[in-house]
Amino acid sequence: MEKLKNKVIVITGAAMGLGLASALEAAKNGALLSLVDFNAESLEAAKKEIESKYPGTQILTAVADVSDEEAVKKYVEETVNTFGRIDGFYNNAGIEGRQAPLVDYDLDVFKKVVDINLMGVYYGLKYIIPVMQKQEYGRIVNVASVGGIRGVMNQTPYVATKHAVSGITKTTALEYGRFGILSNAIAPGAILTPMVAEAFKQVNPSDPQAAEDEYAKANPTKRLGRPEEVGKLVVFLLSEDCSYVNGQVIAIDGGQSNAYGNV
């Protein structure tokens, strides 16, 4: 059964990683897609990949930086002009920044992480919620992280902004549930995307694979997650099957965030 048949779904950061995996899963489930990313070349490649795997999928693309309010307003307007509505919003674009303790953290990188991970998430909601309010229907999936429910060494701005995403999700759920809009967040653990591969390179530049193996050891499942596993959860939360889950931050991490001590 196609869980998103004829639903209009906006996905930010859609060119690769968790955004692309969710776009593929949404296309498989019959969605009409509005894909947003600031990397024009990768976005075009993502569109081609989706069209080749799921021919006939209607796809609008917008090259936009989610931390630029005017650009966000524009991609929302273009989506409504093209499809007439927005049923689901996967508010996913985000960056990790650098790895450094708080005192040594580069201030410009810190501010950039805040601009994209916090302000970018907020702008998307600011312009998409009114569209959903008029329809009296909407499903929002924000992307937090295990770093949105726990501390993580050397990642102060990432953890701060992801906790902010968890907080925004809980508040949005309270404010807009009465309009048929359900807001949830996912909190992925380490899922093997280009962003995480880059983090392993920073942790151990001479042997990133060793950093990955070490990380996997601490997980109850003894492996990293796969982007398509996240895509399936996202599609459920964007669908009508998700009818009474609201304001939750759902970990998808193989159980790792429950652990105390070695597993």
Ligand X SMILES: NC(=O)c1ccc[n+]([C@@H]2O[C@H](COP(=O)([O-])OP(=O)(O)OC[C@H]3O[C@@H](n4cnc5c(N)ncnc54)[C@H](O)[C@@H]3O)[C@@H](O)[C@H]2O)c1
What residues from 136 to 175 belong to the interface with ligand X (CB under 6 A)? 143, 145
Q: Which of 9, 28, 38, 75 binds ligand X (CB under 6 A)?
A: 38
Cβ-based nearer residue to ligand X, 10 or 66: 66
Confirm if 82 and 60 have CB atoms less than 8 A apart.
Answer: yes
Q: Which of 37, 163, 176, 254 binds ligand X (CB under 6 A)?
A: 37
Cβ-based nearer residue to ligand X, 219 or 239: 219
Cβ-based nearer residue to ligand X, 151 or 177: 151
Q: Which of 3, 7, 13, 119 binds ligand X (CB under 6 A)?
A: 13
The reply to whether 234 sits near ligand X by the rule CB under 6 A is no
The reply to whether 124 sits near ligand X by the rule CB under 6 A is no
Among candidate residues 122, 127, 158, 176, the one labeled active-site is 158
C-alpha distances (whole Å) from 163 to each of 98, 152, 257 are 18, 11, 14
Question: Closest approach of Cβ 78 to ligand X, in Å?
Answer: 15
Q: How many Å apart are CA 246 and CA 86, to the nearest integer?
A: 18
Confirm if 86 and 79 have CB atoms less than 8 A apart.
Answer: yes
What residues from 85 to 104 belong to the interface with ligand X (CB under 6 A)? 92-95
Which pairing describes strands 8-12 and 32-37: parallel, antiparallel, or unpaired?
A: parallel
Name the DSSP class of 163: H
Q: Is residue 127 annotated as part of the catalytic site, yes or no?
A: no
Q: In terms of DSSP H, where are the helices of the chain?
A: 17-28, 40-53, 69-83, 107-113, 120-135, 156-176, 194-203, 208-217, 227-238
By annotation, the residues acting in catalysis are: 158
